[in-house]
Amino acid sequence: MIEQFQIIADAVRLKVKPEYRKKIGICGAGGIVDGAHLPAYKKAGLEVVAIFDVDLVKAKDVALRHGIPNVYATLAELLADPQVDIVDIAVPAAAQPKIFAQVAAAKKHILAQKPFATTVAAGELMVKQAKEAGIVAAVNQQLRFEEGVAAAHKMVELGWIGTVSNFAINVNLMTPWELWPWAKDLDRLEVMLHSIHYHDLIRWFLGDAKTVFCAAGRTDGQFPIGETRTISTALYDNGVTSVVHANHVNRGGDNYAEYRIDGDKGSIRGTLGLLYDYPNGRVDTIEVNSSVISTDGWLPYPVTTRWFPDAFIGTMGSVMESISTGAPLRSSVLENIGTLKLVEALYASIDTGKSFNINQPERHEYGSK
């Protein structure tokens, strides 16, 4: 069993080979940069040479604490810095298309915060800009690189649980939305900013769904105006299903974040430790029960890293490897158009109260009735 787990460990190890490393410039100095991006890059030995934020005072503070040598007052200055190979765009989705276009025009490679756009049309234009510029452009869907989740993906790939029949994610939290004051007035909130992680993750495992349904709600007294509770279901080819339940106003005090993947030869179950005490969190867990490798019940896999900050090593490392070797990205902007289409379909379902076919030609735009 130790030898079999070694195969998994080798596949999910978060590291960036020295010969792949490029220099990073960061656009944005918010909490996610301060608490996740920069600690991850430091841990991996990656060099951040510049930072820009519209709030120059904030940018200088972050730069001072993380040892970033160059602080710029404008994006143009950062893009003019010849040291910068990759721009890490870490700003809200609504601000990204304009910044993305400028970075692509400067022929700098891009790692864009998720979601990288608020509409499919905007995302498709960004894909076109990246292709025309000849740059590598990825979306920071870092949950795909979280060690426990990536281990589960490898187990499925190796056939340890046979053919997958269902993927379920159940999250019940008291989310501190006050940490993101810019999100308070967003009318599209939970799916767009939080459950997009889970929907994207399920796409990585199962591919694109055929039909989806989503119900959403709000809770009296909540801080933001957007939806904070959602239940989403999806149907795939051959009768495969998925469900995502997320509640961000759990006043019971029993936070949990669990997932389970069932197949015809076994199951995988795990927890997302970050969400039990955000942003501090705890180490994730994952167990497998398989008739293929004869686990004799539930067998735990030893997770050694965390979603925050460690998984951010994976997303940036993937960009660097792709630049250096041409290796395919785990989460390219082109591939992530599928996630935006899924999000669009989920909001269409919320708005209409009906299930929605993702491949339906007449797309339903966010907020239309």
Residue 259 lies in a domain: yes
Name the amino acid, one letter, at 273: G
Q: What is the average pLDDT across 269-275?
A: 96
Note the pTM of the prediction, 2 decimals: 0.95
Residue 263 pLDDT class (50, 70, 90 cuts): very high
Residue 357 lies in a domain: no
Q: What is the CATH number of the domain that holds 240?
A: 3.30.360.10
Residues whose CB is less than 8 angstroms from the CB of residue 20 and which lie 6 or more positions away in sequence, other chains included: 317, 320, 321, 323, 324, 325
Does the pLDDT of residue 255 top 80, yes or no? yes
Nearest partner of 122 among 311, 333, 294, judged by Cα: 333
Residue 132 lies in a domain: yes
Residue 361 lies in a domain: no
**Burial of residue 292 (number of CB atoms within 10 Å: 0-12, 13-18, 19+):** middle
Question: Across-strand partners of 300?
Answer: 287
Q: Are residues 19 and 78 in the same domain?
A: yes
Per-residue pLDDT tens for 84-106?
999 999 999 999 999 999 999 99
The count of domains in the chain is 2
Q: Are residues 205 and 138 in the same domain?
A: no
Residue 61 lies in a domain: yes
Per-residue pLDDT tens for 338-362?
999 999 999 999 999 999 988 763 5
Q: Are residues 85 and 160 in the same domain?
A: no
Spatial distance between the Cα atoms of 354 and 360, rounded to a whole number of angstroms: 13
Structure tokens at 131: 């292709």
Q: Are residues 62 and 97 in the same domain?
A: yes
Residue 359 lies in a domain: no
Per-residue pLDDT tens for 1-31?
567 899 999 999 999 999 999 999 999 999 9
The whole domain housing 219 covers 147-307+339-352
Spatial distance between the Cα atoms of 206 and 166, rounded to a whole number of angstroms: 9
Which value, in Å, is the radius of gyration of the alpha carbons in the chain? 20
Does the pLDDT of residue 138 top 80, yes or no? yes
Spatial distance between the Cα atoms of 323 and 137, rounded to a whole number of angstroms: 10
